[in-house]
């Protein structure tokens, strides 16, 4: 399956779209985490697109945040860089790189906030499981993960019978994460989860494959 990720971002132009509603939930949860942070925050966004779920929140909260956004598409990565520049966010680094390998996060982890939005609906269940199981190697103790999963994804790669966000929740629970929030609107197919990692960090290792988009 190939995707036109530029076209995918166009749904954001409609403020009433499910994607725009999802964006608002993600921004809200990110803002709350940054607002409650006791000190410096290291933020990582996997498959960050043009960074619209992150960069305006960094600008409006104005906290002590170092952010690394990882996006494979060079134009979307450039768009994120341009937005960061426009918002005078000089502690944002946008890496044009494959977010599916831990090598992409060298020097940016352990993260206090990790965003994996628009990822789990594009990879196999096995890759979701691998990614969730490997996240502690990218996280500080007490870190939060903001994730999304659609339940009406065209050509959904899941084999799970039912709402695939339930599989994601189960995988986080099995890996030892605590669920902080889970948003499941009755009238829309998007889901947003926030999970906290309570354990000790595990050692970071480059070169570990997390996922590949199908
Ligand atoms: C569904 S979009 C989500 C974008 C953004 N996180 C959001 O929610 O607005 C998926 C994004 O992942 C990017 N992508 C696909 N494969 C990738 C990879 N291996 N590494 C980094 N980014 C990737 C695409 O270019 C696209 O921008």
How far apart are the CA of 48 and the centre of ligand 1, in A?
6
pLDDT given for residue 3 in this prediction: 82
For the chain, the farthest-separated pair of C-alpha atoms sits apart, in whole angstroms, at 45
Q: Using the mean position of ligand 1's atoms as its centre, give its distance from the Cα of residue 3 in Å.
A: 10
Q: Which two tokens stand for residue 102?
A: 């831990």
Ligand 1: residues with CB < 6 A are 5, 8, 47-49, 53, 70-73, 76, 98-100, 117-118, 213
CA distances from 144 to 16, 42, 55, 76, 152 (A): 28, 11, 17, 25, 25
Q: Band of the pLDDT at 207, cuts 50, 70, 90?
A: very high
**For residues 79-108, average pLDDT:** 98
> Tell me, what's the pLDDT at 144?
98
* 201 burial level (CB within 10 Å; 0-12, 13-18, 19+): middle
Instruction: Work out which ligand 1 atom sits closest to the CA atom of 53.
Output: 9
How is residue 195 written in tokens?
């999970």
Fold of 5-196: Rossmann fold (3.40.50)
Q: What is the residue extent of each domain of the chain?
A: 5-196
Report residue 2's pLDDT band, with 50, 70 and 90 as the boundaries.
low
Distance 213 CA to ligand 1 centre (A): 9
Per residue in 8-19, pLDDT tens? 999 999 999 999
pLDDT tens-place string over residues 33-42: 999 999 999 9
**Residue 185: is its pLDDT beyond 60?**
yes
pLDDT-derived band at 140 (thresholds 50, 70, 90) equals very high
Q: What is the pLDDT of residue 153?
A: 76
Which of the listed residues 71, 74, 114 should we mutate to test ligand 1's pocket, taking the one with most ligand atoms within 8 A of CB?
A: 71
Q: In this structure, which residue's CA is closest to atom 27 in ligand 1?
A: 49
From atom 2 of ligand 1, which residue's Cα is the shortest distance away? 118
Local structure of 133: helix, strand or coil:
helix
- Coil, strand or helix: which one is 89? coil
Is the per-residue pLDDT at 29 higher than 60? yes
What is the C-alpha to C-alpha distance for residues 159 and 149, in angstroms, rounded to an integer? 14
């Amino acid at each position: 399956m190939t995707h036109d990720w530029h076209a995918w971002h166009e749904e954001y132009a409609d403020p009433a779209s499910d994607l725009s509603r999802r964006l608002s939930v993600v921004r809200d949860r990110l803002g709350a985490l940054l607002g409650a942070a006791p000190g410096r925050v290291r933020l990582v966004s996997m498959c960050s697109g043009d960074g619209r779920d992150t960069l305006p929140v960094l600008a409006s909260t104005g906290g002590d945040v170092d952010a690394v956004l990882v996006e494979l598409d060079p134009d979307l990565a450039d768009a994120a860089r341009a937005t960061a520049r426009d918002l005078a966010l000089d502690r944002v680094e946008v890496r044009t790189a494959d977010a599916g390998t831990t090598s992409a996060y060298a020097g940016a982890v352990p993260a206090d906030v990790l965003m994996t939005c628009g990822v789990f609906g594009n990879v196999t269940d096995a890759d979701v499981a691998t990614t969730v199981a490997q996240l502690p190697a990218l996280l500080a103790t007490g870190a939060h993960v903001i994730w999304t999963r659609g339940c009406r994804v065209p050509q959904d790669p899941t084999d799970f019978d039912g709402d695939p966000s339930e599989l994601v929740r189960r995988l986080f629970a099995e890996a030892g994460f605590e669920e902080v929030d889970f948003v499941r609107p009755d009238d829309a197919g998007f889901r947003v989860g926030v999970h906290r990692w309570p354990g000790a960090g595990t050692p970071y290792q480059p070169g570990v494959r997390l996922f590949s988009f199908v």
